[in-house]
Amino acid sequence: MSSRERILGRVRRALADVPQDDTSYEQAVPREYLREHGDRSVEQTVDLLAENLADYRALVHRTDAEELPNLIMRLLAQRGSQSVLVPPELPPEWMSAAGPTRVHDRAASTPHELDKVESVITGCAIAIAETGTIVLDGSPDQGRRRITLVPDHHICVVRVPDQVVSSVPQALERLDPTRPLTWISGPSATSDIELDRVEGVHGPRTLEVVLVSGRASAEENA
């Protein structure tokens, strides 16, 4: 008899006198926790998202749809990017202004080729205010997971308020669990045993989040 069979035998014997329970998992597990903390307006929720993103060392910018292309070009210019990776269905109006060479994601692209690209621009699936988290799900305006992990600079556009929720439970209700979900809270970072922080180890060193709303002017929060 193998170790596996012995362990499973013990489990079966331990459960022999336990009554059969056909209650579904959704009903058996109580979900009485708070769905969000506090009572906030839409504007306050967006402000909380910006605050928590900045707390994670992301660079946060606010603009409207009309000024978005100019803001993106300005961010790329400030970075000195000569090439920018774009997902297959990034809204064309986001990149309507002239700028760096656009590199399109291809299945044949190697990590070495992607590492030569200086910036990447994507949309997002959802943004969570309470945790300062951006979630990507591989939709056409976001591309495959690897294009946001290899380049050193990631500009992520969040539509406000449509893509902003207060809490993780609210986000989970709107996300498809069968999609490749990537949860991002600030730039990629780690620390060694002496707690020295190192950024860019397993993702971009710089994350810039652009909150796009109907506001007429752009403002910047570092």
The residue extents of the domains of the chain are: 40-221
pLDDT at 214: 66
CA dist 53 and 51 (Å) reads 6
pLDDT value at residue 212: 97
Q: Give the pLDDT of residue 107.
A: 80
- Predicted pLDDT at 218: 36
Q: 72, 83, 71, 57: which is closest to 150 by C-alpha? A: 83
The pair of structure tokens assigned to 15 is: 């459960």
Position 98 scores a pLDDT of: 63
Phi-psi region of 175 (alpha: psi -120 to 50; beta: other; left: phi over 0): beta
- Which helix (DSSP H) or strand (DSSP E) does residue 122 occupy? strand 119-122
Domain 40-221, what architecture?
A: 3-Layer(aba) Sandwich (3.40)
Residues of the chain where predicted confidence (pLDDT) is lower than 50? 215-222
What pLDDT shows up at residue 215?
45
Q: Is there a contact between 62 and 221 (Cβ–Cβ < 8 Å)?
A: yes
